């Protein structure tokens, strides 16, 4: 149960949770490639990783590009999909175009990667959902549905793709760059208030999620599972 020398692709690895997974996989001896649609973000991410990872531009909305990407590469041992860009608003307020784009990004993007990915037997595919799938909240019905769909997809793929293993990590609030748009006290008060409600008394970091993703990759007796890493938020 080691990642030493394993070929690992992290789609969405230029920032946030994906970047945290890249750091963890490198620390465990993996041969890491990160992919995203932004060459600029990839360049910065590789620099932050100390040059230990390679980078490839890949847009999960571009089916022909995904097909070409995997056609020209040898199978990976492990693939992780964390790339997503979604909008959060009440159903009555969210424009249909934004709703479609959110589903397109987080669900269909993962679906396309799963459909085309070349993964060695005994390897793994890991998807990232969120605890809104089991504990929805007002104003985020679409995100609840997208996350639930990813978890259902995980279970079906675990049967279809065997002996490749497929798992999903369901996250709570994680401190990533996506919250940088909140300035000063707004960001601080949101995180502090959330931490007070959490049984663990803290907000998640990408490294917390990455630890579980590494376990999904390394544990050969795990497939079809959705594992919550949410600081106890789902029971608070």
Structure confidence by residue, pLDDT tens digits, 12-54: 999 999 999 999 999 999 999 999 999 999 999 999 998 789 9
Structure confidence by residue, pLDDT tens digits, 104-133: 999 999 999 999 999 999 999 999 999 999
Structure confidence by residue, pLDDT tens digits, 134-172: 999 899 999 999 999 999 999 999 999 999 999 999 999
**Chain Cα centroid distance, residue 224:** 16
| Predicted pLDDT at 199 | 93
Strands 31-36 and 54-57: parallel
| Predicted pLDDT at 28 | 96
Give the Cα separation of 169 and 150 in Å (integer). 10
Structure token pair of residue 201? 């008394």
Q: What is the pTM of this model?
A: 0.93
Give the Cα separation of 84 and 20 in Å (integer). 15
Q: Is the pLDDT of residue 182 over 90?
A: no
Classified by CATH at the fold level, domain 7-229 comes out as Rossmann fold (3.40.50)
* Burial (Cβ within 10 Å: 0-12, 13-18, ≥19) of residue 160: exposed
What residue spans define the domains of the chain?
7-229
| Predicted pLDDT at 23 | 97
| Predicted pLDDT at 208 | 96
Q: Is the pLDDT of residue 72 over 90?
A: no
């Amino acid at each position: 149960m080691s990642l030493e020398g394993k070929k690992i692709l992290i789609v969405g690895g230029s920032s946030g949770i994906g970047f945290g997974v890249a750091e963890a996989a490198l620390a465990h001896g993996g041969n890491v490639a990160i992919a995203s649609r932004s060459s600029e973000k990839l360049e910065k991410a590789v620099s932050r990783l100390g040059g230990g990872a390679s980078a490839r531009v890949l847009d999960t909305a571009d089916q022909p590009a995904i097909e070409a990407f995997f056609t020209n590469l040898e199978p990976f041992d492990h693939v992780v999909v964390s790339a997503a860009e979604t909008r959060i608003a009440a159903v009555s307020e969210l424009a249909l175009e934004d709703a479609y784009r959110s589903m397109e990004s987080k669900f269909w993007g993962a679906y396309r990667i799963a459909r085309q990915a070349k993964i060695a037997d005994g390897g793994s595919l890991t998807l990232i959902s969120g605890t809104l799938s089991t504990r929805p909240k007002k104003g985020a019905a679409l995100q609840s549905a997208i996350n639930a769909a990813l978890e259902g997809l995980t279970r079906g793929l675990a049967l279809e793709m065997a002996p490749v293993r497929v798992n999903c990590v369901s996250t709570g609030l994680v401190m990533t760059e996506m919250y940088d748009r909140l300035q000063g006290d707004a960001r601080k008060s949101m995180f502090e208030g959330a931490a007070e409600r959490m049984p663990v008394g803290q907000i998640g970091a990408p490294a917390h999620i990455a630890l579980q993703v590494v376990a999904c990759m390394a544990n050969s007796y795990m497939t079809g599972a959705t594992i919550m890493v949410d600081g106890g938020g789902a029971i608070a």
